[in-house]
Amino acid sequence: MMWQRFSCGVLAAGFVAVCAVGQSPQFEVAAIRLSNDPPFMITGPGLRHGLLTATKVTLRHMLAVAYKMTEPRVIGPEWLDKDRFDIAGRAPKDVPDSELRPMLQALLKDRFQLAVHSEAREMPVYDLVVAKGGVKMAVYPAVERPIEDTIGHGFPMSRGTSTASQLADMMTFFVNRPVIDKTGLTERYNYVLSFAPMSPQAGPDAPEFAPPDFFTAVQKQLGLKLESGKDNLEVVVVDHMERMPTEN
């Protein structure tokens, strides 16, 4: 297996660079297949233990993982959100997991003819801050509170153990805007978040015992608050990408 590593001198902010070609790892086996099934279960892309695994992911999501961004910070054509793919890859033996992200970048460049650059852009964001009254999550490890009192059955729910920074990244998925952690919190917390779907169709006909909207749930259940604002953020801009990959 050939290894190709690049030693780069950056010419400008972003990925524009002059590179000396050396050796860097590539996936021994990598398969990308279009998935036409409804996306009932979406997983990954996961990059652990030398494996790349993803089920029914969009190209925008793949790019976000490859370049360690949230999806709103991947700028490209609308069809990045249309098609979904299943991906499987295996790294050569003894390649550390820290190498898997650049290997995914190389795979996308090879199979989708991807060309990207990074730049700073001012864009709408939400700042995640501590709400009045303080944090309502238990510091991990802790006995989790019963979830029956907090959830609306049949409604979206998220639960787990996360830092405030990880929660901000998770919230980006629901509000479709970058969420910036400005809480100053450094602990890891147990959390349970139940909320009504974010839809303008909800109106007055929402069930009487439905959970609150996402923004209210964040404040009441987590003791955090999302405040609208603007910020200059690094984004990844897709200069070119084929919609379908080359053959496996």
Would the pLDDT of 120 be above 90?
Answer: yes
Could you tell me if residue 190 is inside a domain? yes
Could you tell me if residue 185 is inside a domain? yes
pLDDT given at position 201: 41
Would the pLDDT of 168 be above 70?
Answer: yes
Assess whether 108 and 179 both reside in one domain: no
Range of the domain at 153: 135-197+205-222
Lowest-confidence region among 14-23, 29-38, 169-178, 195-204:
14-23
Would the pLDDT of 6 be above 50?
Answer: no
Q: What is the mean pLDDT of residues 146-153?
A: 44
- For 186, the 3-state DSSP assignment is coil
Label residue 149 by pLDDT band (50, 70, 90).
Answer: very low
Tokens of 238: 């897709």
Strand partners, 119: 235
pLDDT given at position 196: 84
d(CA 93, CA 41): 30
Tokens of 224: 């955090």
In the chain, the number of structural domains is: 2
183 or 27, greater pLDDT = 183
Strand partners, 54: 87
92 or 48, greater pLDDT = 92
- What percentage of the chain exceeds 90 in pLDDT? 59
Assess whether 86 and 37 both reside in one domain: yes
Lowest-confidence region among 36-40, 87-91, 155-159, 185-189:
36-40
pLDDT given at position 67: 96
pLDDT given at position 200: 42
Could you tell me if residue 88 is inside a domain? yes
Is residue 83 exposed (0-12), middle (13-18) or buried (19+ Cβ within 10 Å)?
Answer: middle
